[in-house]
């Protein structure tokens, strides 16, 4: 199964005037994420399901993607993606689903970066706003096996080289976790 892990695009800054749950995408965030979505469309993304955190900025990001790739399904809201989403929760979610070929999940840092890092067997990763990491995964009891496919930067640049992507995701050269 292909798994596309997407951090929401750039949103308005935190302030006392706008509660965190209602922070929305900036014009710049929308524009930049449209480039990301165009790149994903060129890569042939064809998800069975798009799940999103219920927070406004994540839902708006998922909507831009769905519109760009002409997704025929409904966006699904997964409240777990809003807070403390982790690899065991992802595994539990995947095991509860009927078999699917391709899944998009739109959420937040640091949760998504931690999941990507665990799946890639590296130190924690950080997804930049609007960034996407795509993995080929297989559920194995009790683990999930993952293989890196590509990274799309928050500006829409496609990176297929594993080492280059890991440098971007970790802020340094690829360093496998110690056993």
Give the integer Cα–Cα distance in Å for 84 and 48.
Answer: 24
pLDDT of residue 174: 52
User: Rounded to 5 degrees, what are φ and ψ at 76?
Assistant: -105, 135
* Greatest Cα-to-Cα distance within the chain, rounded to the nearest angstrom: 46
pLDDT at 143: 79
Q: E-assigned strands of 11-156?
A: 49-52, 75-77, 102-107, 132-139, 144-152
Structure tokens belonging to residue 94 = 């995947």
What pLDDT tens digit does each residue of the chain (179 aa) get? 999 999 999 999 999 999 999 999 999 999 999 999 999 999 999 999 999 999 999 999 999 999 999 999 999 999 999 988 999 999 999 989 888 999 999 999 999 999 999 999 877 899 999 999 999 999 876 778 899 999 999 999 999 999 999 999 998 755 555 44
């Amino acid at each position: 199964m292909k798994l596309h892990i997407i951090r929401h695009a750039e949103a308005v800054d935190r302030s006392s005037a706008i509660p965190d749950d209602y922070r929305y995408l900036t014009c710049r965030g929308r524009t930049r994420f449209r480039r990301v979505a165009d790149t994903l469309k060129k890569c042939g993304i064809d998800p069975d399901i798009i799940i999103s955190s219920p927070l406004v900025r994540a839902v708006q990001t998922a909507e831009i993607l769905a519109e760009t790739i002409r997704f025929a399904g409904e966006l699904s809201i997964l409240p777990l993606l809003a807070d403390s989403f982790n690899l065991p929760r992802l595994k539990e979610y995947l095991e509860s689903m009927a078999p699917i070929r391709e899944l998009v999940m739109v959420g937040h840092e640091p949760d998504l970066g931690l999941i990507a890092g665990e799946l890639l067997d590296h130190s924690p990763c950080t997804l930049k706003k609007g960034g996407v990491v795509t993995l080929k995964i297989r559920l194995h009891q009790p683990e999930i096996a993952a293989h890196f496919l590509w990274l799309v930067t928050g500006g829409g640049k496609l990176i297929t080289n594993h080492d280059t992507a890991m440098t971007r995701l970790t802020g340094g050269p690829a360093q496998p976790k110690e056993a």
